[in-house]
Amino acid sequence: MFIFIFLSLWTLLVMGREEGGTGREKGVGKKCHPSLPPRCPSGSPSDQPWTHPDQSQLFADLSQEELTAVMSFLTQKLGPDLVDARQAQPSDNCVFSVELQLPPKAAALAHLDRGSPPPAREALAIVFFGGQPQPNVTELVVGPLPQPSYMRDVTVERHGGPLPYYRRPFLIREYQDIDQLIFDRELPQAAGVLHHCCSYKQGGRNLVILTAAPRGVQSGDRATWFALYYNISGSGIFLHPVGLELLVDHKALDPAQWTIQKVFFQGRYYESLAQLEKQFEAGQVNVVVIPDNGTGGSWSLKSRVPPGPTPPLQFHPQGARFSVQGSRVTSSLWTFSFGLGAFSGPRIFDVRFQGERLAYEISLQEILVVYGGNTPFAMMNRYMDRGFGMGKFATPLTRGVDCPYLATYVDWHFLLESQAPRTLHDAFCVFEQNKGLPLRRHHSDVFSHYFGGLVETVLVFRSVSSLYNYDYVWDVIFHPHGAIQVKFHATGFITSVFHFGAARRYGNQVRENTLGAVHTHSAHYKVDLDVGGLENWVWAEDMAFVPTAIPWSPEHQIQTLQVTRKQLETEEQAAFPLGGASPRHLYLASNQSNKWGHPRGYRIQIINEPVEPLPQNSPMERAVSWGRYQLAVTQRKETEPSSSSVFNQNDPWTPTVDFADFINNETIAGKDLVAWVTAGFLHIPHAEDIPNTVTVGNSVGFFLRPYNFFDEDSSINSADSIYFREDQDAGSCEVNSLACLPQVAACAPDLPAFSHGGFSS
């Protein structure tokens, strides 16, 4: 049912756009250009299949053919008991997911840097074995692709023991069975009170459920609070709580044994819906009537005004300046490979600037959203979105809204809860963008008269995940002087709950009977920088005022500003608690020096509104112990690939991955290092979050910036640089390439038809 939810949202967005789009452009074209200028060369570079075998595709997500091959191999090996995960009951065996198993770094580098044969391409399959006396979850590595011949159970080697079955992520089928339990078996028992409060009709489907997480209070629990909302068609249900929340125990492998353990209704708790109904009939329940306003309400995303003039567009007057081949992006300055972890989300690999590798991997690891409130749903929620899947919940990018109209859009193939691969169209976009801002400039009117400058153009890699109500826009932005910026924006709907009692302690009222519940958003990133090679050192620099006798006037003192420099030796020294003191500058460096004798480094600059982590005495804190640190640098380990796990959400009390374990006082001097970065913000929903949270201001992330890595600002070599002196004719094309624009950019962009990747079913 949650699938419907975000699908409906998209319909609205797309319809709104389509209605105004094309007609408008035609009209403008006619008015401004009686005779149309020539078309610009290949306006929108389409992504090209991988054709050059020398171009590494080590990090490319599995193709449809590879996914199909893995699935048929598994079907052969695991026997006839395997059930399609879309239909599987808890007591069945099914393949939950198949995705790329990342190659070991040493083997990948041997191939990329030393011409060794590429490591075997492998898949990682997560299999639920529910149909055996001791059900378990098993991780299987399957290879080599494209024709698998082996399958290795890596569960014990990776997790030190079996993965208990109760840690398994939810299947859509499990939701459907709970939905059925609630609507067919349970709600009819409270038909009277629900009719009164919530326009309920027996057999009608005007309500939907949303899941809380985690699911219980201790390891082994599988008992989830579900909140009920009006099923508003074509818009977010998230703003329409009716004040009913149900605790469902669905631990038993047989859905017939699932039960409702507790009922929350508009501020009070009941043992069952039957008890609620009985008290209602006895006149003991104070019912707040929640109007069902249907689809036309103020929360609709449908435009309330007719389309106006087209907003500004960017185009490539001389063709795109980058290319996308398979999963590899190449521009004149940058190359990188990209992918989408089914659960971990967007990631890039082998990132090179002017041919030199800066990072082996930069990847999202987890998103944590911690709520507060006075209803059980709001009180309970600590969503660890990896457990749902940042890739699994990725959405198509809508041309001209999610990315520039002329961006390059790339599909993603996946095999999740199904027996055949499926395709998410336009899952990624890559584009070059003129920021309309100088990257640098100087205008001189003193001593001599000249101007020098460079417009900031960036290369952007983007994807978007819609995790139920929230939409996260994931960006990696490549700047022309060697800096990389990683950030995410949050948009979409807030989650709201029924407003009663001391609700304002937990947020702001945003509608009639509706509380926008306070919450935090925190993201964790893995940043495997390789600065001038694998062996790196960590430097902390800061400022200090040092009292100094003034040399020419020694009886006076001056507070002299100095730089303090320290090389950090251990993982403990390089783990900086959120809210604690951290050095203002922290960078990873090689032992090579630049021309001026300084270690060549890359600085990690975090742009963050640090949120308080879960208190360490919370029994589930270890599942998100990465949240303790703003930044931590550890030795890279093949056995520590991720700071979180798809299994942490459903058993946070015995976390499958506890990031704090990575920090065990090992040396970080001259080792292959990984920096782990946390970025987040506090969100107290307010009136302007209705109907949607806007991206503006709701964005955090970090920069990776060259720090003595070069001998000078490398953008000085940019072909986009502009320089002219007073005695030169700045209007001449030979002196100033911008003066050529009227000639070289006098073409009309060749706009492709509007496209949207469609809705899944």
Binding site for ligand NAG (CB under 6 A): 1, 4, 129, 132, 136, 138, 155-156, 162, 205, 208, 231, 233, 291, 293, 297-298, 535, 570, 572, 591, 665, 670
621 binds Ca ion (CB under 5 A): no
570 binds, among Ca ion, ligand NAG, Cu ion, none (CB under 5 to 8 A by kind): ligand NAG
Q: How far is the CB of 93 from ligand NAG (least distance, A)?
A: 8
**569 scored as a contact of Ca ion (CB under 5 A):** no
Shortest Cβ 540–Ca ion spacing (Å): 18
Burial of 399 (0-12, 13-18, 19+ CB in 10 A): buried
* Residue 263 and residue 243 in contact, taking contact as beta carbons nearer than 8 Å: no
Q: Which is nearer to Cu ion, 17 or 683 (CB)?
A: 683
Identify the active-site residue in 92, 385, 471, 672. Answer: 385
Q: Which of 470, 472, 506, 629 is catalytic?
A: 470
Instruction: Extract the tokens encoding 509.
Output: 């009222």
Q: Is 385 a catalytic residue?
A: yes
Kindly report the number of other CB atoms within 10 A of residue 173's CB atom. 20
User: Where do contacts with Cu ion occur on this chain (CB under 5 A)?
Assistant: 683
Q: Is 448 exposed, middle or buried (CB count within 10 Å of its CB: 0-12, 13-18, 19+)?
A: exposed
- Dist CA 651 CA 620 (whole Å): 8
Query: What does the per-residue mask of binding to Ca ion show for 665-704, with x meaning CB under 5 A?
Result: -x-----xx-------------------------------
* Helix (H/G/I), strand (E/B), else coil: 181: helix
Is residue 307 within 8 Å of residue 20, measured between CB atoms? yes
> Which one of Ca ion, Cu ion, ligand NAG, none interacts with residue 683, CB within 5 to 8 A by kind?
Cu ion
Q: CB of 715 within 8 A of CB of 628?
A: no
Does 530 contact Ca ion by CB under 5 A? Answer: yes
Residue type, 181: L
In 3D space, the residue among 469, 465, 420 whose CA is nearest the CA of residue 86 turns out to be: 420
Distance CA 577, CA 657 (A): 19
Mark residues 477-516: x for contact with Ca ion by CB under 5 A, - for none: ----------------------------------------
Taking the least distance from each CB to Ca ion, the nearer of 295 and 664 is 664
Catalytic-residue membership of 720: no
Nearer to Ca ion (CB atom), residue 187 or residue 632: 632
Token duo for residue 61: 């997500």
Among Cu ion, ligand NAG, Ca ion, none, what does residue 313 contact (CB within 5–8 Å per kind)?
none
Q: How far is the CB of 139 from ligand NAG (least distance, A)?
A: 10
Decide which of Cu ion, ligand NAG, Ca ion, none touches 628; Cβ closer than 5 to 8 Å per partner kind.
none
8 A C-beta contact, residue 47 and residue 425: no
Binding-site member from 426, 528, 621, 658 for Ca ion (CB under 5 A): 528
Q: Is 664 in the site for Ca ion (CB under 5 A)?
A: yes
With CB under 5 to 8 Å by kind, the binding choice for 528 among Ca ion, Cu ion, ligand NAG, none is: Ca ion
Measure the CA–CA gap between 691 and 480, rounded to whole angstroms: 37
Q: Which residue is nearest to Cu ion (CB)?
A: 683
In sequence order, which residues have a C-beta less than 8 Å from that of residue 675 and are 6 or more positions away?
527, 528, 529, 588, 604, 631, 632, 633
Number of separate helices (H) and strands (E) present in the chain: 9, 34
Look-up: residue for tokens 């200090």?
A: 544
Task: Count Cβ atoms below 10 Å from residue 323 Cβ, excluding itself.
Answer: 15
Closer to Cu ion by CB, 381 or 408: give it. 381
Residue 205 contact among Ca ion, ligand NAG, Cu ion, none, beta carbon within 5 to 8 Å by kind: ligand NAG
Catalytic center residues: 385, 470
Query: Which residues sit at the interface with Ca ion, rule CB under 5 A?
Result: 528, 530, 634, 662, 664, 666, 672-673
